[in-house]
Structure 1
Amino acid sequence: MNTNTKLQNGEFLDKAELAALGEGQMAYVKPILSDEITRLFPQAPEIQPGLKLFALLSASGEPIVLTDTRDAAVANAWAHDLETVSLH
């Protein structure tokens, strides 16, 4: 299975190159359940299972902030001059 991403000009990007795109410029807002928190935020305290939360992740997938509203995640990104993209 090819794990490279093909660009419109026919060139390919590997996973590392793709992850580096937008680093320091773009962040992703990802809805998650509290059950997933320890995977992204290992240092986070235990939280009631089943809560709907939002994680702000860097372009490379590194966690930035965890919040209970999408608006708060977007506001945090804007405060750090990051453009936001939603993940579903």
Structure 2
Amino acid sequence: MQMKQVPAALSLSDLAHLGDGEVAYIRKISATDVGRCFPEAPELDPDIDLWALFGADGTPILLTDNRSSTFFKAAEDQLKTVTVH
């Protein structure tokens, strides 16, 4: 990943698009939050462990019950990943 020169002051829009197409984050997500992030997903068992991959701007990319799948999808899309707690 090439480092880009960042302006001294970033607008909210600039900040929202920082890392677009280059960085994604992975986080555990509860079944109750799935509808907010993935509205097309069916109702899920609340006891299932779910993982989501999001673009740097928060765009949902993948929902899975297998954490490793998020890393494989990110690598397939040539995205650097970070984990958010």
TM-score tier (shorter): 0.7 to 0.9
Aligned-pair RMSD on alpha carbons? 1.6
**C-alpha distance in structure 1 between counterparts of 2:17 and 2:7, whole Å:** 19
Residue of 39, 53, 56 corresponding to 1:56: 53
**C-alpha distance in structure 2 between counterparts of 1:16 and 1:54, whole Å:** 27
Q: Which runs of 5+ in 2 are unaligned?
A: 1-5
Corresponding position: 1:74 with 2:71: yes
Report the 3-state secondary structure (helix = DSSP H, G, I; strand = E; otherwise coil) of the residue aligned with 2:46. Answer: coil
- Provide the residue aligned with 2:16 in structure 1: 19
Residue of 12, 35, 55 corresponding to 1:38: 35
Q: 1:48 to 1:16 in 2, by over 3 A?
A: same
**C-alpha distance in structure 2 between counterparts of 1:10 and 1:79, whole Å:** 30
Instruction: Normalising by structure 1, report the TM-score.
Output: 0.82
Q: Which runs of 5+ in 1 are unaligned?
A: 1-8
Return the structure number with greater strand share.
1
**C-alpha distance in structure 2 between counterparts of 1:14 and 1:57, whole Å:** 21
